[in-house]
Amino acid sequence: MAAVYAEELVTVMNPIVESKMAERLPLSPRLDSLSGKTLYLVDINWGGPQAAWSVYEQMEAWMAVHMPDVKVVRKRLAASYMVDDPAMWAEIAEKGDAAIIGIAG
């Protein structure tokens, strides 16, 4: 019986990352308030065309009622979330004070 077990193979995976890790950057400082600020809601095109967009519509409607002095701008990445969109990031850096970037739904 020992001979049967001796013939089995075990596959071992190495968890070490062989490529260089991306540079880690700290989070931006938290704003004291959104009052009078411009908030970008950025849909990264993950999960279908309405995955985040419909939630962002509801967030924008809520902000209009409860925080009317916050300017909300909803945007979608020009392509997939896997493709960089330098024009979008430049616009947010120039015109925005805060951003929610990601998925929802």
DSSP per-residue string spanning 49-102: TTTTHHHHHHHHHHHHHH-TTSEEEEEE-SS-TTS--HHHHHHHHHH-SEEEEE
Q: pLDDT tens across 3-31, in order?
A: 566 677 888 888 887 778 788 989 888 99
Q: pLDDT tens across 55-87, in order?
A: 999 999 999 999 999 999 999 888 877 888 999
Domain membership flag for residue 28: no
Domain membership flag for residue 91: yes
Asked if residues 98 and 31 have their Cβ atoms less than 8 Å apart, the reply is yes
Mean pLDDT across the chain: 87
Domain membership flag for residue 37: no
Domain membership flag for residue 72: yes
Number of domains in the chain: 1
Domain that holds residue 79: 44-102
Domain membership flag for residue 65: yes
Q: Within a 13 Å sphere around the CA of 27, how many CA atoms are in the beta-carbon half?
A: 6
